[in-house]
Structure 1
Amino acid sequence: MTDPATSGLEYYLVGGAVRDRLLGLEVDERDYVVVGADADDLLERGFLPVGKEFPVFLHPLTKDEYALARTERKTAPGYHGFIVHAEPSVTLEQDLERRDLTINALAETADGEIIDPYGGLADLQQRWLRHVSPAFSEDPVRILRIARFAARLHGRRFRIADETLALMRSMVDAGEVDALVPERVWAELCKVLGEQRGGARLSVFFETLRACGALQRLLPELDSLWGVPQPAKWHPEIDTGVHVMMVLDTAARLSPQPEVRFAALCHDLGKGNTPAEILPSHHGHEERGVELLTDVCERLRVPKRYCDLARITARFHGKVHKVAELRAATIQDLFDGIDLFRRPDRFEQMLVACEADFRGRTGYEDRDYPQAELMRRIAEAARSVNAGEIAKATANKSLIPERLREARIGAIRRARTGQSASTEVSAGES
């Protein structure tokens, strides 16, 4: 059946839809480029304009995106500094040339013919992430995008071409990354943390940024962790940066929630500025980490739900690991600190992040984490205390908080008496 909206148009399926189909991956969305037309042509066919900076339209029925073929010219630093040229004279090859990677510069006709002017098919087959042209260097967001592709396609053995990594380094040295606005950095980071595709490895994103020097510019608090030693007794991997990447990948296996993964990523930031004289110990790193995390969240304008979970994880992960050794009153203080009684859902998220921290160490990957179950049992006991009954039974209302706290501590103490020997373990230094 002929589609009246596209009948007579010269249009091509482009970008990720072509790439993913050729890789045998599920295609999430389809984008098209239109050649030999202008905005009025599409409007007359019922297309709906959505692009503010670029000439992008939605198909009136499918809502797929159709963009006019365009070229771009760099006019200023950063990713906003472009002049867009979209006219019927712009060819498909010119449009594809402005794209970031050769594997994204593929087009497909309505009949299924692949158009490949820049070697994308060969790079797909050989598993290369390679820039299309020197114009790659004009947009610093592409550094984040290629790092994200490297993480997403890690399981399919894709790697970044040497010349592309060298170009990324030169972009960092030229200050292009410094021109990125916080919202765009967070948007790309959030896409990585939310990655659900099988075979993805989130740590590759950060390792790629570190390899080209961008991590030091964007997340110096994280970058500073590499080379910082930890006690071999508790951390056979030694290097803190290596440990945090292991924790992140473990969190990605344990939970699909990006908030949990962000908490895992940021749980040990305080080890980056441990005084040299106490290394490889990291006494007090939890409190230092909360301060650094606050800086990260403010600088990147991280949403509150991410920050709050990361904050309690950074502050309390060491205590969760050692819950079997803590006094009942200390556990109640922990519950107050994480707002357990109002946010039990966040408590569960924190436990997953703590488990990722425990198992994100060489030789610990498949170990059990009984601390989580012990914490859940104790928390349930504390939550079972009836605050209303205590309030009714307390004549002096100013004493209600004290009586409630005493009751909860008693419930915690009683719950702990039933713990088996297998739960009395410690993660050691976290």
Structure 2
Amino acid sequence: MTNPSFLLRRCNAVPFMRFCVVLLTLPPSLLAGNVLITTSLGEGSHYFVGKTIGKYLVRHGHNVTVLVSEAYAHRADNPEDSELNFIVFHQSTEQIKSVKERHLAFSKRVNNVVANQVLFQILEYMHGPFNTVRERHQIRQDLQGSISDLIGTYTDLFLVNMDFAVEYPLPLIPNIITIGGITARPAAPLPDDLETLMQSSGDGGVILFTLGTYVTHIRQEFLEPFAEVFGRYPQQKVLWQFVGEPKFKIPPNVKMMPWLPQNDILGHPKTRLFIFHGGNNGFYETMYHGVPAILIPLTGDAIDQGSRLTHQGFGIVLDKTNVTVDVLDDAIKTIFNNNSYSEVAKLLSARLQSRSMHPGDRAAFWVNHVMKHGGGYMRSPLIGLNFIQRNMLDVLAFFLALVSVILVVSFYSIRCTLSFCKQKCISSSKQKHD
């Protein structure tokens, strides 16, 4: 990988002090500090989560810098994010595409083991430019290992985009803070043209369809069934996020746009259904606003979102290899003809919104806490254990050895006892015979 070059925008220095998952903090003696947020490349749902955390930190008085790839340098020019600083590093689009081409399919429990190792290798590849940054600026040279190693070893705080309103129950260590649904918020007014379209939908309402920001190029054959099925529902308007020019016929009730305010449309009272690729932000936004969904997992953690959606019962999951006209039509009819999906969605919406503070404020609170008091006391003690200790192989070996000794002693004791009894019987029989 080539060494990255840097463009500094509204920032004069790289504010590294302590490694965290999405931030680096100053010593706890300062009330406010410099925070660096990295969302790997700077595109998709990860970026929106990262910048949202950054904006809440700015509200709490911190200076926030966001590190993005040159392929997404336009992020630095967005006036909506003017309160954030940006550092743009060089990484070619070809390098980015080569990492997406590594999403892999495995089965059942083997998937967890193998996929974790594959993910670690992908992260090592993606962290290459950051390792170069660290070496160039002599950042914490006293710490050994790559960025990936340091994240697991020295991180004081993890901010995880999940919420137990929909997540399966699982134990968490203290330095893992849940901020699920951080991009979900009450709907803002729509632009006039979109508001006019929403109101023109009448009682039929609106279907929102998107395949996410990462999926900009997809086979037309995959998209054609959607256009055909949408045309069967003239009583509904369809908003379709689509980049480029379609090579298939678009029904009159469908409006295509390269970008849509997803959260605000989902929060509009006219929205009846959300069809999407399974992005984590979209998953929480549709649940937050109580809109049933049809989920088509394409990449990454979308399969996990599909599992949660099916488990909770507020939508339907379709196989991306079998999205035919009939399959899609049946799924839409099932959602519209069965009120249970909408009822469950509203129930989950009330559950998710019933929280003591917004996830952004929650994230800012814990970042402030770690800056002021440190977070080492919340780290898992597993970090200091080796593989044998961590998996308790030494304890298992001890008990196996103990059981083996007991079995061997018991075996020889029984053997000796039987042998002694046998000799006694033979001796007694001989004496009796004599």
Q: Could you tell me the TM-score, scaled by structure 1's length? A: 0.25
Structure number, greater radius of gyration: 2
More helix per residue: 1
Bigger relative contact order (CA 8 A; separation at least 6): 2
Q: Could you tell me the TM-score, scaled by structure 2's length? A: 0.25
